[in-house]
Structure 1
Amino acid sequence: MAISAPSFDQGLILEKCKNHLDFQLWPIEMEAQIEPWLANFLPDEKEHAYHLLNSFLFFSERMTKQLFLSAVNDLSVRIRKPGRTMSGERSAWRSLFDSILVTQVTGEAPNPTDSGNLFSRYARDFLGFDEAQILSNDEVLRVLLSNNPRPVIFVDDFAGSGNQFARMWKRKHQIGSLHMSFAMYASKQRGGFFGYCPALCTQYGAENIAKECPEVIVSPGNLLTPQYSAIAPDSIIWPDHLRQNASEFLRKASARAGIPEAGGSEDDWRGFHKLGLCIAFHHGMPDASLPLFKWQQNGWAPLVRYS
């Protein structure tokens, strides 16, 4: 006798989505996008589609700020010393906080729309750093090279592969007559303090940064293990009876939408570096997330829209 696959409760998943909307965890405009997004999928794909929807993590501005706060506050644990009193710990953290220089993780050509700009504002308005503490990469290096060593933290929304941070860390800047990178400075400066505080970071990215940038303390608001990938063999996205066919479901649906297989590039159906994540922020979706959530070509209705 054939054994039917376990049933799933579509209504329960939709009720969960409604609660996210009611509690303003998801933006209200997503309410009109849930059913059209589900309608993208064929009848035999529906169960996978509902579980994909159920796994989707959307971080509102409030949640993102709290993750960022946690990332920075976690650095206070790094300076704790055995035997120091609680008041001594608070004093040490306050002294460090007041001397920190805050800077963004930038690409080759910094852009006004870079997410780092948003997190620089959070550092000032939400965390309480002084405007004078928030500087560009080259301005931070200029301060450090003026015989004024200061602790430095790099702010960001998300670290997927860790490649962007590693490139920024090793990028040379013209500082007076010197060509200097953070990596070059840190290798010569003993006792420097460099922290990287993304709101979210994958374990893959953290390990890559630890390898490429050993002087940097990675302190994320939350660390995503490999099981958060929708294409991982042990993914927590899927129930047991769907996990084996999940990658094939995603590949076929992506092909129908026109999303290519591109070797793990930013355009790949599995997301950048094939990380296959199911996350989005209020200000944008990481390239490491599945494009199926925001795709708008070939008649595909997105779950989230960004202007």
Structure 2
Amino acid sequence: MNNHKLKQKLDFRVESLISTQNIIIQKYNYVGWLNNFPSELKSLAYRLLYSFTYISEAMTDSMLINTIQNLSCDLHNPSSLSEWKDFINGVAFAPVRTNGLNFSDSGNLFVGKVKKLLQLDEECIIGNLDEIVNLICDGKKVILVDDFVGTGDQFDQFILMLKESNGSYKKSCLENLIYAPLLSTARGYKNITSMHTQVKFSPLHIISEDYSVLGENSIFWRGLTKEGRAEKITQIVEISKQLRVEDSLIFGYKDLGLGLSFQHGAPDATLPIFTHSAGNWVPLVGG
């Protein structure tokens, strides 16, 4: 596909995104970002932008509600408003803790969203690891809410911290723990479901390898030959090095290679070429 046709398709897609998702241009600066690229690299820029996924706040809220509704059908199958309320009153919500005693930023944000969207009482929100252990070991379901799972490494840390936080912890208690992010990579899904079999892992959507620039059937390189895909990958590496991105991070955390951002921020699995903001480089979205 030549640059002109790709740009036409890109313009249509961006206009559709703006009209349907009410994107704030300051959050999704596609014009400024495209201007980073000289003419000989415009083809790369158009391809990267055309397959980039942006999830607005309105879409995030809708996905979060759908996630909870899906869980209610799996766990309670409510057929009336009163039964829905019974489900909500029978569970608690918590963020995933990472890096010592800190909540993940997205986990904190999503607990607040759940409270607001579902109009929950304060007691439905769990504030510490010790309380999570007490509840799940007493048989109460605790739902962990988050936006994105990449490799599952953070969840490994969380389970270890949970184990060390309370002497009442038993592995069997994890049967009452539900991890419900909006999105998970296929790699993260495989890792969590194989390593933590007692936990119910229930992402709303699973992102296949096709959404990685490194995927064998990547959506970013449709229509290109193997040699053409290799050329685009090399161009990403060269630009990233010019931006002084660490070699290990050029394709995002552990080479997940995604083009993805929520309105509240991009996960570390997203290529820095989309989020880098140093010097004269204009980021597409905030990191």
Give the TM interval when normalised to the shorter protein: 0.7 to 0.9
Deviation at 1:109, TM superposition (A): 3.2
Q: Given that residues 184 and 205 in structure 2 are in contact (C-alpha distance below 8 angstroms), is that contact kept between their aligned partners in structure 1? A: yes
| Deviation by residue 1:147-188 (Cα, 9 ceiling, x = unmatched) | x3201111111111111012101213444xx2x5xxx52x23
Match of 1:255 in 2: 241
CA-based RMSD of the aligned residues comes to: 2.5
Q: Distance in 2 between matches of 1:21 and 1:201?
A: 25
Match of 1:143 in 2: 135
Q: Which residue identity does 1:39 align to in structure 2?
A: N
Deviation at 1:113, TM superposition (A): 7.2
Match of 2:24 in 1: 27
Q: Distance in 1 between matches of 2:21 and 2:67?
A: 23
Q: 1:113 to 1:208 in 2, by over 3 A?
A: closer
Q: Given that residues 63 and 182 in structure 2 are in contact (C-alpha distance below 8 angstroms), is that contact kept between their aligned partners in structure 1? A: yes
Q: Alignment partner of 1:102: what SS?
A: strand
Q: Distance in 2 between matches of 1:193 and 1:12?
A: 47
Q: Alignment partner of 2:268: what SS?
A: coil
Q: Alignment partner of 1:288: what SS?
A: coil
Q: Alignment partner of 2:178: what SS?
A: strand
Q: Given the alignment of the two structures, is residue 73 of structure 1 paired with residue 69 of structure 2, yes or no?
A: yes
Q: Given the alignment of the two structures, is residue 114 of structure 1 paired with residue 110 of structure 2, yes or no?
A: no
Q: Distance in 1 between matches of 2:109 and 2:45?
A: 32
Report % sequence identity: 29
Q: Alignment partner of 1:53: what SS?
A: helix
Match of 2:260 in 1: 279
Q: Distance in 2 between matches of 1:211 and 1:250?
A: 33
Q: 1:30 to 1:78 in 2, by over 3 A?
A: closer
Q: Which residue identity does 1:142 align to in structure 2?
A: N
Structure 1 residue corresponding to 2:13, chosen from 3, 12, 16? 16
Match of 1:289 in 2: 270
TM-score by length of 1: 0.82
Q: Distance in 1 between matches of 2:233 and 2:33?
A: 19
The structure that is helix-richer by fraction is 2
Structure 1, unpaired ranges of 5+: 263-267
Q: Which residue identity does 1:29 align to in structure 2?
A: Q
Select the structure of larger CA radius of gyration.
1
Structure 2, unpaired ranges of 5+: none
Q: Alignment partner of 2:278: what SS?
A: coil
Q: 1:15 to 1:6 in 2, by over 3 A?
A: closer
Q: Which residue identity does 1:188 align to in structure 2?
A: S
Q: Distance in 2 between matches of 1:219 and 1:124?
A: 19
Deviation at 1:62, TM superposition (A): 0.9
Q: Alignment partner of 2:261: what SS?
A: strand
Deviation at 1:273, TM superposition (A): 1.2
Q: Which residue identity does 1:202 align to in structure 2?
A: T
User: How many residues in Structure 1 have an aligned counterpart in Structure 2?
Assistant: 281
For residues 14-93 of structure 1, the aligned pairs below 5 Å read: 14-30=11-27, 33-79=29-75, 87=79
Q: Which residue identity does 1:139 align to in structure 2?
A: E
Q: 1:53 to 1:64 in 2, by over 3 A?
A: same
Q: Distance in 2 between matches of 1:200 and 1:142?
A: 28
Q: Distance in 1 between matches of 2:144 and 2:41?
A: 42
TM-score by length of 2: 0.87
Q: Given that residues 240 and 250 in structure 2 are in contact (C-alpha distance below 8 angstroms), is that contact kept between their aligned partners in structure 1? A: yes
Q: Given that residues 151 and 188 in structure 2 are in contact (C-alpha distance below 8 angstroms), is that contact kept between their aligned partners in structure 1? A: yes
Deviation at 1:292, TM superposition (A): 0.8
Q: Given that residues 97 and 103 in structure 2 are in contact (C-alpha distance below 8 angstroms), is that contact kept between their aligned partners in structure 1? A: no
Q: 1:213 to 1:128 in 2, by over 3 A?
A: farther
Deviation at 1:37, TM superposition (A): 1.3
Structure 1 residue corresponding to 2:172, chosen from 177, 185, 188? 188
Q: Given that residues 27 and 263 in structure 2 are in contact (C-alpha distance below 8 angstroms), is that contact kept between their aligned partners in structure 1? A: no
